Amino acid sequence: MRVTASVAATAAAAMMAVPAVLAASQCNEWSPCYREGYCNSNAMFCMWGLCDSSLSYNSTSCWQPESCLSQTVDFTSSSDAISIDNYSGNPANNAFVSVFDPDYSSVANGNLVLSMKYDSTQGKGFGATVDATHTFLYGKATARVKTASVANGVVSSFIFRSDVTGDEIDFEWVGKAPTQVQTNYYYRDVLNYQLMIPYTMADTSADYHDYTFDWSADQIVWSVDGTVIRTLNRADTYNAANGTYAFPDTMGRVAFSIWDGGNSGAEGTEEWAGTPTPWTASTVYSMYVESITIECSGSTDTSSSSVDDQTSATDTDGYSSDAGSGSSNGSGNGASSQQKCIPRPTAAY
């Protein structure tokens, strides 16, 4: 289910506290990174995939994409996931960043915990989204997850997503179907509601299970506890009308998210997630990630061909292939932000 986070929408909602939208050319040296109408120097704006290189201060303002790293993150250290506000741009220090404010994610008892609480001003739950700091293009990702499918409307997800192109590979769990995991994918943000496939299993909120997607240039294989539950062949996504394959093939990041589908206000989403989501002032819904193992198999040299391929496929997005080549470690350290224009997004996907 696609509900994309938008800085602009959030900023508009909080316009009282926000300076005027800046024109593209107005990003200065101290707030060099452009994203959705605003300039800033912190990771929320400068991280590759979020930052629009063509409209930033100069062609090297956006941080370059961090190479894929084969690793297991077991969430035993609080530095494994931090608020993006405190992320300085070095993925070696922090494997994940939490992007919402308030930040309802934490590292606790050997888990990454993503929680959702009631937001009375919006009349719905406010969740959490945690993004990997390393990029990913082909390889295997296995997350050991206990979902928040304990009540109608609560959506948990483990996904790969490219914010640049809209390619996405999903595991999603909806509160109304605790004994189900749904697999899905998107190609270039094209909405197609025919692509989701549910798989019935044990209660996903009762125990941890290993959820794996194994992605190559030829196929995506989704597995649960080592059992293949779905295979998508690139060859089967061929569209003869225009000679394209509707198959995810661009660089992005893996991410976890919890959000309120049951009170989303969108009829289709509410029906899909279960509705309404039951809330009291003190209700907290949580999903738990015990570990994630990444095995990169594509090019890990993200500064070369993979970026160019992606850029040429999406030139209208204006993301430049040389994004950030001059600042491998994040020249715009969040801690020294000169100008903090807007709050972090409040919408989840």
* Positions marked catalytic: 168, 172
Task: Work out how close the CB of 224 gets to ligand NAG at its nearest, in angstroms, rounded to a whole number.
Answer: 30
Stretch that binds ligand NAG, among 105-113, 193-201, 238-246, 266-274 (CB under 6 A): 238-246
In one-letter notation, the amino acid at residue 176 is: K
In the complex with ligand NAG, the residue whose CB is nearer, 241 or 281, is 241
Is residue 179 exposed (0-12), middle (13-18) or buried (19+ Cβ within 10 Å)? middle
Task: Work out how close the CB of 42 gets to ligand NAG at its nearest, in angstroms, rounded to a whole number.
Answer: 10
Residue 58 engages ligand NAG in binding (rule: CB under 6 A): yes
List binders of ligand NAG among 87-116 (CB under 6 A).
90, 103
Alpha-carbon distances, residue 199 vs 156, 180, 181, 184, 222 (angstroms): 15, 5, 5, 11, 11
Applying CB under 6 A, among 72, 244, 304, 305 the residue interacting with ligand NAG is 244
List binders of ligand NAG among 19-38 (CB under 6 A).
29
Task: Work out how close the CB of 53 gets to ligand NAG at its nearest, in angstroms, rounded to a whole number.
Answer: 11
Residue 329 engages ligand NAG in binding (rule: CB under 6 A): yes
Task: Work out how close the CB of 227 gets to ligand NAG at its nearest, in angstroms, rounded to a whole number.
Answer: 32
Go through the chain and tell me how many residues it has: 349
List binders of ligand NAG among 111-150 (CB under 6 A).
none
Residues lying near ligand NAG in the complex (CB under 6 A): 29, 58-60, 83, 85-86, 90, 103, 190, 239, 241-242, 244, 326, 329
